[in-house]
Structure 1
Amino acid sequence: MNEASHVALFPCAGMGHLIPFLRLAADLHSRGAAATIITAEPTVSAAESDYLSNFFATFPRIKRLQLHLLPHKKSQLTNDDPFFIQMERIADSVHLLQPLLSSLSPPLSAAVVDLPVLSRVLRLASLPIYPLITTSARFFSLMASLSHLPPHENDRLEIPNLGSIPVSSIPPPMLDPNHYFAAMITTNTAALREARGVLINTFASLEPEAVEALRRNGVDHILPIGPLPPFKRSETVIVLPWLDEQAPESVVYISFGNRTALSKSQTRELAAALEMSGCKFLWVVKGSKVDKEDGEEVEAMVGAAFLEKTEGKGKVIKGWVEQERILAHPAIGGFVSHCGWNSVTEAAALGVPVLAWPRHGDQRVNAEVVERAGVGVWEREWGWGWERLVPREEIADKLRAVIGDGKLRAAAKEVKQEARRTTEVGGSSQRLLQGLMESFKTN
């Protein structure tokens, strides 16, 4: 192991942020760098805590530096989301890192940090700092342009060098200057110029126009290093022998991520749609936004009658799963997804067609990436998660269409080949990661 380079990695709240940071840490570790993960204590979700414990058991030579957070101090900004509150707490506690970072051995060569803490870390440390962007290049283009966008006309916002994005695709908190989300974006994107490089978990062939727009709009040090590969864990979280018994590409996988819980009425409609469609399915259910508060049993969530009627046709499970392992299974033929960016990149890398059903945040913009890249389809009329109860008949029609669309499956497999080429030796992401390693050694 080449101890000449030592990199600290500092993710914020939520699995959508944590997973790409840990994947990058494992990749840098495999290339010979020493790595330290800065973890905020306590975590918001049990999934984060469990995932971190397993990661450090898998990689005992990667160090853990715990940042014990100060109590939340309510600001004048609107912020009632538990994950955003955690991000605010982390940013307010960054100054506690200074003595901890200076005591690390060997001394740090660089730090890779989450965007919500970028400006604070830049003020704190004299190291080369690289933000890792955990959303799509398309949504990041919107973030990077937010502070100087002109007032939107009609129902669209014009992004320089990229085109327009519907206002209906932008999460409302982002357009409210008094909301934490909007303030966090404008504060930290203003600091991008001071970063040594801007890493992003995407690849140029998935979003060529957005990557080019970022470069032309002043983020010329953007480094698309994705899709970041999953790492082998020391323990398997869930084993599903039922999948092994299913025909190739015959099962729809349904998951709305770690931060999204469907309403009870929408859960009932989705259950009825699965029964109506006749599709085989694997459905990961969630009862509340924060898993520590989720005490409802599967039977109560989807109904005992549904479980009885679909026995043998599908499985309903609750809790954290190794999604990339499920998507890689030959039985999976489609993915109903909220379009969190990790889910999009995993589906793209594995060639699984997506039925996009965005719920909040960056997910409607990400759904457009899915559609443009040919990875899947997006029913725009379904709106955000709170806007409309989508009826079972519509869902059933879309499920059958996605699982039976040979043209869509072929297009998704083409994207899979593009992803493979970019991560192979000589591919664009591999070249950028190797260059990153060289820059760490010379810093």
Structure 2
Amino acid sequence: MSDAVVHVALLHSAGAGHLTPCLRLAALLVNRHCRVTLISPHPTVSMAESNLLSRFHSAFPQVSLLPFHLLPLDASTANSDDPFFLGFEAIRRSSHLLPSLLASVSPPISVFLCDVSLISPVLPITETLRIPFYILFPSCARMFSLFSSVPRFISSISELDFVDIPGVSAIPRSSIPPPLLHPDNVFANILKEDSPKLPKTRGILMNSFEAIETNALESLNTGKVVKDMPPVFPIGPIMPCEFEKNETQQTNSSIVKWLNDQSPGSVVYVSFGSRVGMSSEQIREIGNGLLKTRFKFLWVVKGKKVDKDEEDDLEEVLGAELMKRLKSKGLVVKEWVDQSEILSYSSVGGFVSHCGWNSVLEAAWHAVPILGWPQMGDHKVNAEAMELSGMGMWKREWGWAGEKVVKGEEIGDAIDEMMKNEGFKMKAEELKLAARKAVGGGGSTELAIQKVINEWKKMNH
């Protein structure tokens, strides 16, 4: 009976940073002979999420799709104008619809796995239905240690200079996600409500691996951070899958050819992820910085948030003169590129990144050092984890997005500093080997995945 098929229900949250690791995990579980039902909230916040979901279902028809139709949310009752936080809140407020949805699922669900932003509303449902409840945490172990410590520091947050976490190096106030510093923000309320309930879950699946976050993972799993913490399973890096791109989303062949024509380690890749939009003034300063550095570059420009991305021509933002000078030295693009593919080219020797955790792991997988430029949310905590791993650096004085305009000269100098650092290259190479060993046969990640699936099989017995 130990070979009973485990039926996992997966509930994802809003935003590509939460959806992407969830879908990658679903693919990983299918490949390990689990039955998977994906509970998918509708509407999604962005077209990018909607497109990703449809490609996933084409690639994995064996995954059952359970549409979860959300009730309309009056944004004025949620104290936020962030579309993704409002997405979290809409899912939470519609959670009472889940039991009847789950009743229709056959065969019965053995395990319920959901995004970390949905603990409080889902936990009582799984307790009533007696379904073991696990969490997927899409960020780093360092961020999870901060999240799990919220009850300890939140009441005195306005007086603290840093948050001291046992077994994990202190996190300065300046790195704490800004919404947490505003007591009634919807994100702060979610964390305050959910964090104390972590011990009631059966385990946390985390997109990280031992070599990149040794201390934080060990401190979480030995009860130093929270005494009755359930086991944390480091199942990362959960790397990109084929379904994430289709024929209309292939990296432009002229970009591929250009990268192939450059000498090893000579190109800096600059991208700030799918969610970060920058001011025109800052975009122009980045352009000036790239002209100042002695390295060639591939720069993916994003000027607006979510889907409102295409109306401005690059030349309008950068100006004809700057655009002409940039074109003589590198590539500036606004279209979709396959980031993991870009990072795999030997010509790419460094990455200027917002430090979204998926981006950090993709850089580690391909041994590309990082110059971190955190923009929002968990980015500074991720940048600290990246820097502690030895694979790169970040300039704390640049602050959060929009706090100040960082001048081109500073940007160019920082790029040169990162690109020339042999220590970063050596450490990135070490992490690449460690990541590949972790996911290989007998590796730490492979063992963690097998351990959690075996646990589920026993529960299913």
In structure 2, how many angstroms separate the alpha carbons of the residues matched to 1:52 and 1:93? Answer: 20
Q: Could you say which residue in structure 1 is the equivalent of 2:102? A: 101
In structure 2, how many angstroms separate the alpha carbons of the residues matched to 1:189 and 1:156? Answer: 19
The question of whether the paired residues in 2 share the 8 Å contact of 1:370 and 1:376 is answered with yes
Aligned partner letter, 1:27: L
The question of whether the paired residues in 1 share the 8 Å contact of 2:287 and 2:326 is answered with no
The question of whether the paired residues in 1 share the 8 Å contact of 2:418 and 2:424 is answered with yes
Q: Could you say which residue in structure 1 is the equivalent of 2:270? A: 254
Q: Could you say which residue in structure 2 is the equivalent of 1:131? A: 135
Give the alignment partner of residue 161 of structure 1, picking from 163, 167, 172: 167
Correspondence list, 1:40-79, <5 A? 40-74=41-75, 77-79=78-80
In structure 1, how many angstroms separate the alpha carbons of the residues matched to 2:321 and 2:47? Answer: 30
CA apart distance, 1:169: 0.9
The Cα offsets for residues 181-200 of structure 1, whole Å up to 9 and x where unpaired, read as 11101211222122111111
| Greater mean deviation of Cα atoms: 230-239 or 245-254 | 230-239
Asked if residue 143 in structure 1 is aligned to residue 147 in structure 2, the reply is yes
Q: Could you say which residue in structure 2 is the equivalent of 1:235? A: 246
Aligned partner letter, 2:303: G
The question of whether the paired residues in 2 share the 8 Å contact of 1:355 and 1:377 is answered with yes
Percent identical residues: 43
In structure 2, how many angstroms separate the alpha carbons of the residues matched to 1:268 and 1:256? Answer: 15
Asked if residue 176 in structure 1 is aligned to residue 186 in structure 2, the reply is no
Give the alignment partner of residue 309 of structure 1, picking from 325, 329, 338: 325
In structure 2, how many angstroms separate the alpha carbons of the residues matched to 1:412 and 1:270? Answer: 25
Asked if residue 225 in structure 1 is aligned to residue 235 in structure 2, the reply is yes
CA apart distance, 1:407: 2.4
CA apart distance, 1:72: 0.6
CA change 1:61–1:22 in 2 (3 A) is same
In structure 2, how many angstroms separate the alpha carbons of the residues matched to 1:70 and 1:320? Answer: 32
TM-score, scaled to structure 2: 0.91
Partner secondary structure for residue 243 of structure 1: helix
CA apart distance, 1:154: 5.8
In structure 2, how many angstroms separate the alpha carbons of the residues matched to 1:437 and 1:15? Answer: 26
The Cα offsets for residues 93-148 of structure 1, whole Å up to 9 and x where unpaired, read as 12222222221222211121011112211112321111100111111111111112
Correspondence list, 1:76-91, <5 A? 77-91=78-92
Correspondence list, 1:288-367, <5 A? 288-292=304-308, 294-311=310-327, 313-367=329-383
In structure 2, how many angstroms separate the alpha carbons of the residues matched to 1:85 and 1:229? Answer: 28
The Cα offsets for residues 339-368 of structure 1, whole Å up to 9 and x where unpaired, read as 011111111122110000001111111111
CA apart distance, 1:214: 2.1
CA apart distance, 1:12: 0.7
Give the alignment partner of residue 455 of structure 2, picking from 428, 439, 443: 439
| Greater mean deviation of Cα atoms: 37-46 or 374-383 | 37-46
CA RMSD of superposed structures (Å): 1.9
CA apart distance, 1:294: 4.7
In structure 2, how many angstroms separate the alpha carbons of the residues matched to 1:273 and 1:429? Answer: 39
In structure 1, how many angstroms separate the alpha carbons of the residues matched to 2:62 and 2:316? Answer: 43
Q: Could you say which residue in structure 1 is the equivalent of 2:299? A: 283
The question of whether the paired residues in 2 share the 8 Å contact of 1:77 and 1:178 is answered with no
In structure 1, how many angstroms separate the alpha carbons of the residues matched to 2:319 and 2:76? Answer: 42
CA change 1:148–1:392 in 2 (3 A) is same
CA change 1:162–1:200 in 2 (3 A) is same
The question of whether the paired residues in 1 share the 8 Å contact of 2:199 and 2:230 is answered with no
In structure 2, how many angstroms separate the alpha carbons of the residues matched to 1:401 and 1:408? Answer: 10
The question of whether the paired residues in 2 share the 8 Å contact of 1:110 and 1:129 is answered with yes
Q: Could you say which residue in structure 2 is the equivalent of 1:211? A: 217
The question of whether the paired residues in 2 share the 8 Å contact of 1:353 and 1:402 is answered with yes
CA apart distance, 1:73: 3.1
CA change 1:269–1:74 in 2 (3 A) is closer
The question of whether the paired residues in 1 share the 8 Å contact of 2:201 and 2:230 is answered with no
Aligned partner letter, 2:138: T
Q: Which runs of 5+ in 2 are unaligned?
A: none
CA change 1:285–1:325 in 2 (3 A) is same
CA change 1:47–1:311 in 2 (3 A) is same
